Homo-oligomer: A and B are copies of this chain.
Amino acid sequence: MAEQNKKAAAKSIATGGQSYTPGRPVYIRQSACIAGTKESKGPFSGLIDMTAEDDLFGAKTWEEAESTLQKEAVTLALGKAGMQAEEMRYLFAGDLLGQSMASSFGVASFGIPYMGVYGACSTCGETIGLGTMAISGGMAEDVVCVTSSHFASAEKEFRYPLAYGNQRPPSATWTVTGAAAFILTSVASKRNRAEITGVTSGKIVDYGVKDSLNMGVCMAPAACDLIAANLRDFKRKPEDYDKIITGDLGLVGQRALLDLLKEKNIDIEAQHMDCGIEIYDCNTQDVGSGGSGCGCSAVTLSAYILKMLEEGVWKRVLFVPTGALLSKTSFNEGMSVPGVAHGVVLESISS
């Protein structure tokens, strides 16, 4: 078999630069999202598949609650697609906790070959980019990608115990309690939610910013670099996208991104949208600069962006989850907060 497959050498489909176009069609077959009480009262109220009475989701610890989010998101996505876990060739998963524990304990019971991924809040983009690679390369027909964050487990992991009641500057963001799962497939169907027509993988970009309560500004240079690379690699202009959507820059980071891109003579003011700004009502929900966390872009993609593509309101978008690479140890040791971003081009299949 090895010999036979080796002869069928795969056709090279790299576009040059940091991007590739799938060698065969890859679709988001189905998705599902689950979110916390605060998120369910925000602008996406009614678009989120499942919520709970409280943010423990029936668990005993915040970490177990976050694992529950991942498990429920995958279960819901499989159910909506009418598929079984056994049909999934790979599961790509990641979260913000030390050693990605929300993922390990959340997805173990599905028994799907497991690819743990860490890209901080860019993880949703990284998992979808790797899942697309697996299908494009013929290693899989169907894969599932899942990611999560939880306000309380993230505060414990990165900042202070909740009971300490620390104050936050307006530049700080609020970690989204939520998870979303995406089933990718090579099988064409009118019921698929969108087609993935390109992937741009990000480099780590470090402008030396050390303020972990202003992560939008820490991540903006990486988002800028990724968007510029995507436009260059695919020979596109901002107006070739209906929306260019960053993950969780928030109000402060958005300003930094638009300014940085203008220095490169790229103006995306008309197309830019940030999941962190959309997922909460930033005026009334006391979230500072906006939402953040792996769940922020993932929930927004499942609940809102895919809906707009399904309805044909948007034809083509660039989805760019953004991540801030810090740990409490790196922060305590005075290190900077480098950023990374991963881009996915999504196109509507509605005619």
A positions within 8 Å CB-CB of B: 1-2, 5-6, 8-15, 18, 20-25, 61, 63-64, 89-90, 94, 96-101, 104-105, 107-108, 111-120, 126, 130, 133-134, 136-141, 156-157, 197-198, 201-204, 206, 234, 325-330, 333, 335, 338, 340
Q: A6-B22, A97-B327 are in contact. Are A117 and B114 (CB under 8 A)?
A: no
Specify which chain B residues have a CB less than 8 angstroms from the CB of A112 in the assembled complex.
203
Contact of A330 among B101, B116, B118, B197 (CB under 8 A): B101
Give the shortest distance, in Å, between A232 (CB) and chain B (any CB).
Answer: 13
B18 and A6 within 8 A (CB): no
Give the shortest distance, in Å, between A332 (CB) and chain B (any CB).
Answer: 10
5 smallest CB-CB distances across A and B, nearest first, come from A137-B137, A9-B24, A98-B98, A113-B201, A10-B23
Q: A105-B335, A327-B101 are in contact. Are A118 and B120 (CB under 8 A)?
A: no
Closest partner residue, chain B, to A90 (CB atom): B201
B63 and A18 within 8 A (CB): no
B63 and A107 within 8 A (CB): no
Give the shortest distance, in Å, between A229 (CB) and chain B (any CB).
Answer: 9
> What separation, in Å, do the CA atoms of A300 and B70 have in the docked complex?
35
B327 and A98 within 8 A (CB): yes
B21 and A113 within 8 A (CB): no
Closest partner residue, chain B, to A95 (CB atom): B118
A108 and B206 within 8 A (CB): yes
